[in-house]
Amino acid sequence: MNIDPETVRAFSGAFLLAMLVLCIGLVVAMSSKTSAYARADRFSLRVRLPYGTTATRDSVARRGRVSSLTTAITMLVTTVVLSPLLLTPVAASPAFPIIVVIPLLVATGFASAVVNVRERLFRPAPDAPRVARARALGAVDYLDRFRLVLPWVLAVAAALAFTALALQWVRQPARVDDAFAAAAVFAAVVSVVVFAALPAVERLVLTQPQPASDTLELAWDDAFRTTALSALRLSAALSAWLACALALGALWLGADVLFSTFASQVPTWGLIALTFIYPSTGRRLRTNLYPEWLRRPVAPEGSPA
């Protein structure tokens, strides 16, 4: 069923307005110092790290507030920058929300990395004791191999999907959905940029100093570093997934009307799944990152506690 382009444009305008209101609300909410402590406490539970001291809790809350506020402001600025798209033919495309969401999600991922590079969690006094890792750590020390490899697997899948889309476009262009195809091309361009920048930005995060006075402070810094690296991988995985899903959607929507609902929902399902794989609210660290006194052997499955 064809929808009037002006109706689609109106829905696009309403979507963008809702995004602006949401982003403004997030900026206001993340500005609160009181809520920063509540978010810090939840983060502490998820990463399974105690504070140790009140000063550590204050530092974690401050760092979390800066990170959350930066992300919210990045979302707001990106949404404002994308607003002129309403004046272009893109606004009349059913894929407009996805076209807006792609740079929004990518920008927030890189904003997390910027905070990690610029902000220091702890600032020990010059005469205070210092601790450091015995060796330089790489991304594999912070994220398991599945999370490291997944974006590249999705990139390969996207390349294969685009190959199929290109072949179909040459053979039967009438059976390709133009709106989804255009959105897929946009996602692919964003994905190429993200994957090209990923190694350099990731290296920049990993080479930042980690001033800490004890192993617990070092573990806390690693917790925020893990979150930043996870956000970067999420940006890459999201852009590759959307390029793949939109390319396949362009084929399905053009092939058979029975696939319309399914094809239009696949990108959203993938987005939701990836946010669980790369959570931004903290997750248990890899065992080697915890202080020795916090490490616990894992009992075999089915054994008594």
SS3 letters for the chain? Answer: CCCCHHHHHHHHHHHHHHHHHHHHHHHHHHCCHHHHHHHHHHHHHHHCCCCCCHHHHHHHHHHHHHHHHHHHHHHHHHHHHHHHHHHCHHHHCCCHHHHHHHHHHHHHHHHHHHHHHHCCCCCCCCCCCCCCCCCCCCHHHCCCHHHHHHHHHHHHHHHHHHHHHHHHHHHCHHHCCHHHHHHHHHHHHHHHHHHHHHHHHHHHHHCCCCCCCCHHHHHHHHHHHHHHHHHHHHHHHHHHHHHHHHHHHHHHHHHCHHHHHHHHHHHHHHHHHHHHHCCCCCCCCCHHHCCHHHCCCCCCCCCCC
Tell me what pLDDT residue 3 has.
66
Question: Average pLDDT by consecutive 10-residue portion of the chain (305 residues)?
Answer: 75 93 93 90 94 92 93 94 88 84 89 86 77 85 95 95 88 80 88 94 91 90 93 94 87 57 69 90 89 66 40
Tell me what pLDDT residue 262 has.
54
Tell me what pLDDT residue 202 has.
94
Tell me what pLDDT residue 173 has.
80
Tell me what pLDDT residue 231 has.
93
For the entire predicted model, the pTM comes to: 0.87
